Chains A and B, each alone.
Chain A
Amino acid sequence: MIALVEHLWSDFMPLLLAGMVVNFEIAGVAIGLGLAFGLVLAYAHLRGGLLGNAAASAITLMRAAPTFVVMFFLLNALPRNMSISGAMTVALSLLPYSAAFVADSGVDALRHLRSGSALAALQFLPNVMRAFFVLVMSSSAGAAIGVGEGITAILHEAELLPALGDRLVLFAIGVASFGIPLQLGFALLRLIQRRLGLLLG
């Protein structure tokens, strides 16, 4: 067991951490694109009329589109001259979720802004941060199309470990590696929300 942990610590952890950087990069691209599209949709939705209805329908469809299927759709249905990298495919597959989330949160924030409650509108920021962490976790779907992210590193290592016990140790390290930044992120989120709550009175 000690030998296994030593091996995982020295050989596997650098690969896992390098893979997790890819998870954060994918989530960063997805939230960036989500902000760009989502805020436009939120603004259009609030304007109403034909454009507003179209935006509302688009948001409904994007909410319902399963990320994993969108990823395979992008991978297989795009014309060959539009080939994109695996990591970008995952980021784009997360776009419907992130754009719909940003649009929903954006509609709330814009309504608060219009009613003069700027501080309530600021809740938009922790919401976006929450979405970012969800996207980090969801970006692990890239393992299914061979993107070299954190879960891919774990799965490659697991294939070389025949004993279930050894694999479970590896998986525990994987869960801790994803869980620690996530829980720290959520703790920060709670702190920000508490501060905002105090400011809002």
Chain B
Amino acid sequence: METIKRNDYNFAFLDEGSKREIRRAILHAIAIPGYQVPFGSRELPIGRGWGTGGIQLTMSLIGPNDTLKVIDQGNDDSVNAVSIKRLICSTTGVETTTDTAEANIIQSRHRIPEEPLREDQVLVLQVPTPEPLRSVDAHEAVTRQLHADAEYTGIWVNLFEQLLTRGSAFKGADHPVMADDRYVMNPSPIPRYDNPKLDHAQCLYLFGAGREKKIYAVPPYTKVESLAFDDHPFEQENMEGRKCRLCGAEHVYFDEIFDPETGERYYQCSDTGYCLKRQNEQKAEKEGLR
């Protein structure tokens, strides 16, 4: 397999003009929380829909002294996470880590890490469908006007229909939120368990949709409220009574593993970095006691 050589490309793969375009969009996105800023999405050596929005954000942010963590559904070692990490590392030479606390740029698909993020950290989320109004109208010009008028009746009707037909107004993932009492936005397909982490967080959240050519953001300490009805308040997934089989953690978001031979169900932390850290701490404690 041909490997990418550091000097074959500009630092962080993208040319400086592309970075400027993305950086300008990031600044507008931070100034208007939840508003989708259109940008000239670039071609990358990864197909659109595989995290290109997130990669372009990370490439525009990253400097040689940064430490990067990439996760895919909480997992540091999945194919998508490893491929993205390899591309970024081979074109920047930055250090990577699986420890959330050590990273200052974290790129993620479908999860927000379990450990609370700090003010000096940026979480970049990959977004497949940034437009929460797309199910209401297929035309970009119409949805843009609906956002301008803060006309979100269509979304409320959709949620109400879902409540009537399925008994729950809540989506399994990507449940829409209201950012700073103005824009309804898709929080990327994170589970509802992660939605409250967006509210008044210490870190900066950046959302990149490469295929849809949109960037949006939630600055630190910004009100983010999951959409819900007064008589059907927002609910996270119920994780009660579950325990990680590897580290024993409770009250975190779990992956469910089913053994077809024995019929048993296991649970383990979806955030593998968090799980590994706990296992290492437990091991160190045990060794210290000996």
Q: Do A and B bind?
A: no
